[in-house]
Amino acid sequence: MSLTITSPAFQPGGEIPATHTSEGADTSPPLEWTGVPAGTKTLALIVDDPDAPDPAAPKRVWVHWVLYNLPPDTTRLPEAVPPDALPAGTCEGTNDWKRTGYGGPNPPIGRHRYFFKLYALDVALPDLKAPAKHDLEKAMRGHILASAEVIGTYKKTGRK
| pLDDT tens readout for residues 54-63 | 999 999 999 9
Q: How would residue 159 be classed by pLDDT, with cut points 50, 70 and 90? A: low
Angle at 103 (CA atoms; ends 79, 41), nearest 5 degrees: 65
Q: What is the pTM of this model?
A: 0.97
* Stretch 5-27: mean pLDDT: 97
The structural domains of the chain, ordered by start, are: 4-154 (3.90.280.10)
Q: Which amino acid appears at position 152 of this protein?
A: G
Pairwise CA distance, residues 152 & 154, whole Å: 7
Closest by CA to 5, choosing from 40, 29, 41, is 29
Pairwise CA distance, residues 124 & 82, whole Å: 22
pLDDT (tens digit per residue) in 32-72: 999 999 999 999 999 999 999 999 999 999 999 999 999 99
Pairwise CA distance, residues 153 & 64, whole Å: 13
Q: Three-class SS of residue 63?
A: strand
